[in-house]
Every structure is written in structure tokens, then in C-alpha cells.
Amino acid sequence: MNTTEIMQLSLEMSGFDEVPADSAIYHPGKNIKKALIGIDLDAPELFYAKDAGYDLVISHHPKGGDSTINFPKVLQRHVEMMIEHGVPKAIAEAAMRETIYDAECRAQIANYDHAPSFARHLNVAYMNIHLALDEIGRKLMASSVHKLTPTSSVNDLIKTFKADMSEFRNAKTDIDIRVGEAKNKIGRVAVAHACGTNGGYPVAKAYFDHGIDTVIYIHCEGAASRTLKDEFQKKNKNLIITGHIASDSLGINPFIAALEERGLRVTPVSGIVPQ
């Protein structure tokens, strides 16, 4: 396989038609037999890969190039997802306005050619695949949610996630209820994942204010979590945090299996939780 074919495989598995803005091939390669894959693989890991005889390094998170510069574009998926769940367009756009602006500012600051330049000098194929793999994980979580009914409890949802997805059983972190209680009914659920990063307070609030009872994030900062709890704990709303690394692994592991089915030797490192 070559790097273009590997990227295309991620699109086919996720259902995307084109490479998302947060994913890129930094240094192309062909005749790839042995790949190193992890959640965060940067310049030091390129030296290790070169020394250990790997043909390709795949980072999940963006590590430079177009995927860093264009990352703010994928945040628009939060807006699209909120609208799909009944949030008015104007409110959805307002909920993401500051987050997108801040991401654009960070992209201007980033040293976007740091790791890619080492890949070129070492002549190690290097790429990152972010949104497509997160979408694989999101669909798995949504499938588990669909097994439940609005009267199912938060505890039922957590038990179902752990039963269906071994990454949640094997991770050192646990699924966390930041807002709500285990006995609460889940009602209408939004799996707010595969949108670049979490939507924080404004996105969860927009969901809660427009008929969603349970929001699922894979991570959420402490300040946002506290504010959401203060505002929505007594309103029978639920914010469930599934865990960043476990949830990323949920989408990465099926992709690893697909690569291995095509004859590649794949070594998972950098935090990937085994199935």
C-alpha cells in the first residue's frame, strides 16, 4: 500500500468523500509493509521509526502541515451536528464562534513544519488521520445508544458502552458523569464527537436548551464542566465524558485491523488502548 491508499481506506471506513481538513500526508511513501501508529507521534518518534525499520508513521492527532493550518475548518461539524439535533442554525453558529476564532488564532501561531521537516530529512513516510477515525468511533457509540430507549438510565448507557466496546473496559480512565446522576433517564442523546475537539460549555448548553437531555463528549475541561453542572444539574440533564484516549482508540483499532487485513505489519504505540 501507499500513503494515498491508506488515507483512502480511512475515508471508506468513515463514510467521508474527501480528506478532512485536520488530516494530511506530510511525506508520502509507497510499498509500505511496516507501520507505526499512535495517538501522538512527533519528530522524536520519526527517529525511532527510522532506526527500527518502519516504512510509515501514522499519528492520529495533527502534527503540522495543512492539518494544523486548516484544523479550524473541521470545528464546523459541531454546528452541523447541533442543527441535525434541532438546535436553530443561528444559535449553533453562535455557540461555536469563539471556539473557531480561537482555533484560527492558534493555527497562525503553530510551527506547522516542525515534524514534517524531519520526516523529509529522514525520508520516513509520515501522515496523520484524525477526523475519519474519530467518525468511526462516533458511529460505534451512536450504535450503542440506539440499543437503548429514552427511559433507559445513564447507568444503563454506561454499562452498554462498556459491554459493546472493550476500549472502555480496558482503559485506565473511567466513563465519567460530569452533570446528572446514574439514575437519570437518558432521554434524547447527542454523541458530540468527531468534530475536531469538544464543544465545551456553549455547545453542551445549546443542546440542553433545545431538547437534548444527554450530551456525550470524549473530554471536557474542568471550568466548562463545573459551569454546566451548576446550571443543569437540577434540570435532569446529563453530561457524560467517555475519556479522550479510550474514545480515540475506539476509532483507531478498527483501522489497524483493516490495515493488517491488507498485509501490513502495524505496531500500535502512544496511548492506544487495546481491544
Task: Output the DSSP codes for 74-112.
Answer: GGHHHHHHHHHTT--HHHHHHHHHHHHHHHHHHHHHS-T
The secondary structure element, H or E, covering residue 247 is: helix 244-261
pTM: 0.97
**How far apart (Å, rounded) are the C-alpha atoms in residues 66 and 38?**
19
- Tell me the pLDDT of the chain (275 aa) as tens digits: 999 999 999 999 999 999 999 999 999 999 999 999 999 999 999 999 999 999 999 999 999 999 999 999 999 999 999 999 999 999 999 999 999 999 999 999 999 999 999 999 999 999 999 999 999 999 999 999 999 999 999 999 999 999 999 999 999 999 999 999 999 999 999 999 999 999 999 999 999 999 999 999 999 999 999 999 999 999 999 999 999 999 999 999 999 999 999 999 999 999 999 99
Going along the chain from its start, the domains and CATH numbers come out as 3-133+248-267 (3.40.1390.30), 136-247 (3.40.1390)
- Note the Cα 229 to chain centre separation in Å: 23
Determine the residue type at 41.
Answer: L
| C-beta separation of 10 from 32 below 8 A | no
**How far apart (Å, rounded) are the C-alpha atoms in residues 136 and 210?**
26
What cell does 202 get? 456553549
